[in-house]
């Protein structure tokens, strides 16, 4: 088969803001005027003239003349500009260098920019120098730009149309560009299609008249079934990032060419049901609940990234049944939580909060009563996972005796001692800190009965999940003096955004540190997560690897080489693999690698095949009974 046949239309490509991300002449002005005190003003005027010319608001030729007059550039500035433009080639053009170099006879650059800087940049990606049509500068003897070659048709209004007419191309002609003058080639009847290129800028007036929108060069190539770097254009794949995840995440997806939407707060169920319809990847933190109802609206969703540790806010089983892989960041913020827990336990055991509050009221209360060291005290941790174990080590280094209770067998670090029941842990500890996961069964594991078991004057901390503690019982225990100090970072009901008010029975109680779920909110942790989770999601999207997923059969796949990769997710029922293999045998498709992993709900089969196959073969694979989702990578 060949989904990649080249039907060979002539492709006319604009340069500024299409082939490169920027407008060459504007950048030349910024370079040439570097030492001019009026630089910003003049560059602003030039940009304004460029915009007006590109959107068709003013005569292009007049705008160009005015821009050259404002510029005051020379040859050395052009050299600098070329080096700069080499770093500003549009991502999708860089990705598709092979297409550009293998189809040089069909591709032309037609630009109102200048050959002096376009030719060196475009030819490096395979464009023929004699296929670059653009304006040319006039220089004086010192190399200063003094004007433009007015004999060149491109310096005139309607120049691109005249140029195209002169080219006399026979066959289909498609134009890709971001400006109105690019569209005019189609309007004149000389080109068959106009693709408004929006990877760098989106001009309303241009998009409105376009036959198609090309969000990237891959998008254009996909639309025309031409050879491309991405099996499916990433610019067509929508990524929705909620809850103000670190900008590193936005950058990671944008650099790969995805269509990314960034939202500061969380969304409620109804909003999410609406917004998720066309989303393929969603990034959330602890406040966004991905419920069964949300997933029912998420027909395109392939992966969920929890930019945090907890995944209790996601219906993991339902996601798996729908073939949606969920990833989180299990370690990136653990140290931050540990540091906050250590800080809080010292402040609480020293009774610092009331003392600090009094100072703010102008009261001096120097006394040692009710203030203790943590050294020698017993720290009791419920949950000895990633955070519990780290806290254990740091607390021991401060001279605490560490005890823990975990419902599964865990290796003690250092001198930490495991106790066999929760009740025992609660009754022996001076400081109690909760580090259990947020599964439903952990709801209210600490309530009145458990507070009654604790020592009088205990210090109590919860930095795990809000629903784990009965807040009313905690408030009573604080009021009665049973709990001498409490540090609470997580609550059964938390505001979705910083604009919503916080309500709790703990407000106003003495020696209580309340924090707005910021255990993992440090710059370091958020940045780590901002790199870690997108890397996992991208590996899944680009390569099929699901290693580290919390709900999906985990496979770590080799890089795809000289093959096409089929990713088949199916209900875990007997016989699917056999059926798939039968199709391969019957259709004579050569398998170069095969991987299978299952979990209780689904099977994940990855098959690398040689590139010779038919559309019918793909259709048969998609139609195998039990198929949940199928996609291909190459």
Ligand X SMILES: O=C(O)[C@H](O)COP(=O)(O)O
Which residues are identified as catalytic? 465, 494, 517
Of 156, 521, 522, 594, the one binding ligand X by CB under 6 A: 521
Of 383, 530, 548, 603, the one binding ligand NAD by CB under 6 A: 383
Nearest residue (CB) to ligand X, 17 versus 386: 386
Of 9, 520, 548, 603, the one binding ligand X by CB under 6 A: 520
N-term to C-term CA, the chain: 14
Nearest residue (CB) to ligand X, 179 versus 438: 438
Nearest residue (CB) to ligand X, 340 versus 426: 340
Q: Which does 406 bind (CB under 5 to 8 A by kind): ligand X, ligand NAD, none?
A: ligand NAD
Asked if 310 interacts with ligand X (CB under 6 A), we say yes
Nearest to 549 by CA among 238, 315, 306, 300: 306
Q: Which helix (H) or strand (E) holds 322?
A: none
Asked if 286 interacts with ligand X (CB under 6 A), we say yes
Nearest residue (CB) to ligand NAD, 165 versus 527: 527
Plot region of 562 (φ>0 → left; ψ -120 to 50 → alpha; else → beta): left
Nearest residue (CB) to ligand NAD, 252 versus 308: 308
Asked if 424 interacts with ligand NAD (CB under 6 A), we say no
Of 200, 386, 429, 504, the one binding ligand NAD by CB under 6 A: 386
Of 81, 161, 221, 308, the one binding ligand X by CB under 6 A: 308
Nearest residue (CB) to ligand X, 163 versus 342: 342
Burial of 619 (0-12, 13-18, 19+ CB in 10 A): exposed
Of 335, 435, 455, 517, the one binding ligand X by CB under 6 A: 517
Q: How many CA atoms lie within 13 A of 494 on its CB side?
A: 24
Give the whole-angstrom CA distance, residue 486 versus residue 479.
11
Instruction: Write the binding mask 318 to 357 for ligand X: x where contact by CB under 6 A, - elsewhere.
Output: ---------------x------------------------
DSSP-derived pairing of the beta strands 602-609 and 564-571 = antiparallel
Nearest residue (CB) to ligand X, 67 versus 517: 517
Across 311-329, b (16+ Cβ under 10 Å) vs e yields bbbbbbebbbbbbbbbbbb
Q: Which helix (H) or strand (E) holds 79?
A: helix 75-86
Of 419, 445, 453, 632, the one binding ligand NAD by CB under 6 A: 445
Of 310, 380, 487, 548, the one binding ligand NAD by CB under 6 A: 310
Residue span binding ligand NAD (CB under 6 A) among the ranges 230-238, 248-256, 313-321, 430-438: 430-438
Of 159, 257, 380, 385, the one binding ligand NAD by CB under 6 A: 385
Q: Which residue of the chain is nearest ligand NAD when measured via CB?
A: 385
| Min separation Cβ 315 and ligand NAD, Å | 16
Nearest to 99 by CA among 3, 257, 229: 229
Of 377, 517, 564, 601, the one binding ligand NAD by CB under 6 A: 517
The answer to whether 15 and 122 are in contact (CB under 8 A) is yes
Nearest residue (CB) to ligand NAD, 92 versus 313: 313
Asked if 436 interacts with ligand NAD (CB under 6 A), we say yes
Give the whole-angstrom CA distance, residue 250 versus residue 61.
39
DSSP 416-485: -EE-S-HHHHHHH-SEEEE-----GGGTTSBSHHHHHHSPTTEEEEE-S-GGGB-HHHHHHHHHTTSEEE
Nearest to 510 by CA among 349, 300, 353: 353
Q: Which does 285 bind (CB under 5 to 8 A by kind): ligand X, ligand NAD, none?
A: ligand X
DSSP-derived pairing of the beta strands 627-633 and 564-571 = antiparallel
The answer to whether 45 and 144 are in contact (CB under 8 A) is no
Asked if 553 interacts with ligand NAD (CB under 6 A), we say no
Asked if 468 interacts with ligand X (CB under 6 A), we say no
Asked if 384 interacts with ligand NAD (CB under 6 A), we say yes
Nearest to 537 by CA among 294, 331, 326: 326
Query: Cβ–Cβ contacts within 10 Å for residue 115, how many?
Result: 21
Q: Which does 392 bind (CB under 5 to 8 A by kind): ligand NAD, ligand X, none?
A: none
Q: Which residue ranges make up the site for ligand X (CB under 6 A)?
A: 285-287, 307-310, 333, 517, 520-521
Q: Which residue ranges make up the site for ligand NAD (CB under 6 A)?
A: 309-310, 333-334, 337, 382-388, 405-408, 435-438, 442, 445, 463-465, 489-490, 517, 519-520
């Amino acid at each position: 088969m060949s989904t990649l046949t080249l039907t060979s239309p002539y492709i006319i490509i604009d340069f500024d803001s299409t082939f490169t991300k920027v407008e060459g002449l504007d950048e030349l002005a910024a370079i040439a005027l570097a030492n001019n005190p009026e630089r910003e003003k003049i560059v602003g005027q030039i940009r304004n003239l460029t915009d007006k010319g590109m959107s068709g608001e003013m005569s292009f030729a007049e705008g160009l003349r005015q821009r050259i007059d404002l510029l005051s550039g020379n040859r050395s500035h052009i050299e600098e500009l070329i080096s700069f433009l080499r770093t500003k080639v549009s991502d999708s053009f860089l990705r598709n260098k092979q297409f550009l170099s293998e189809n040089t006879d069909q591709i032309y650059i037609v630009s109102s920019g200048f050959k002096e800087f376009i030719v060196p940049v475009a030819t490096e990606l395979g464009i023929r120098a004699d296929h670059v049509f653009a304006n040319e500068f006039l220089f004086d003897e010192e190399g200063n730009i003094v004007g433009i070659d007015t004999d060149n048709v491109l310096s005139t209004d309607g120049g691109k149309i005249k140029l195209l007419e002169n080219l006399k191309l026979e066959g289909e002609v498609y134009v890709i560009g971001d400006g109105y003058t690019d569209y005019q080639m189609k309007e004149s009847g000389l080109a068959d299609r106009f693709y408004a290129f929006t990877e760098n800028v989106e001009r309303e007036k241009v998009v409105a008249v376009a036959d198609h929108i090309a969000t990237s060069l891959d998008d254009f190539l996909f639309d025309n079934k031409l050879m491309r770097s991405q099996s499916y254009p990433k610019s067509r794949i929508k990524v929705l990032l909620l809850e103000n995840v670190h900008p590193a995440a936005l950058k990671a997806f944008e650099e790969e060419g995805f269509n990314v939407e960034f939202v500061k707060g969380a969304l409620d169920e109804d909003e999410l049901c609406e917004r998720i319809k066309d989303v393929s990847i969603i990034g959330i933190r602890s406040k966004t609940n991905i419920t069964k109802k949300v997933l029912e609206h998420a027909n395109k969703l392939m992966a969920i990234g929890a930019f945090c540790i907890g995944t209790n806010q996601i219906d993991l089983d339902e996601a798996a049944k729908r073939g949606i892989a969920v990833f989180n960041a299990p370690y990136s913020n653990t140290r931050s939580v540990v540091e906050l827990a250590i800080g809080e336990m010292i402040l609480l055991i020293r009774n610092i909060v009331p003392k600090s509050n009094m100072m703010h009221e102008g009261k001096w209360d120097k006394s040692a009563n009710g203030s203790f060291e943590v050294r020698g005290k017993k720290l009791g941790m419920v949950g000895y996972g990633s955070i519990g174990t780290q806290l254990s080590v740091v607390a021991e280094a401060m001279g605490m005796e560490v005890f823990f209770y975990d419902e599964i067998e865990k290796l003690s670090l250092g001198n930490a001692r495991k106790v066999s029941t929760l009740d025992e842990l609660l009754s022996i500890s001076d400081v109690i800190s909760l580090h259990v996961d947020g599964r439903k069964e952990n709801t209210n594991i600490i309530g009145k009965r458990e507070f009654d078991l604790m020592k009088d004057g205990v210090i109590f901390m919860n930095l795990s999940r809000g629903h784990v503690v009965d807040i009313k019982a905690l408030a009573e225990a604080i009021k009665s003096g049973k709990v001498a100090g409490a540090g609470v970072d997580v609550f059964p009901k938390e505001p979705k955004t910083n604009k919503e008010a916080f309500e709790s029975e703990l407000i106003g109680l003495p020696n209580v540190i309340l924090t707005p779920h910021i255990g993992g909110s440090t710059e370091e942790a958020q940045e780590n997560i901002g790199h870690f989770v997108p890397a996992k999601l991208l590996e899944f999207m680009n390569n099929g690897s699901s290693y580290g997923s919390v709900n999906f059969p985990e496979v770590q796949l080799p890089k795809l080489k000289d093959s096409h990769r089929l990713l088949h997710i199916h209900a875990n029922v007997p016989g699917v693999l056999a059926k798939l293999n039968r199709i391969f045998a019957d259709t004579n498709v050569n398998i170069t690698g095969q991987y299978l992993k299952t979990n209780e709900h689904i099977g994940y089969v990855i098959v690398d095949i040689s590139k010779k196959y038919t559309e019918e073969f793909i259709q048969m694979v998609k139609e195998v009974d039990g198929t949940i989702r199928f996609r291909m990578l190459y």
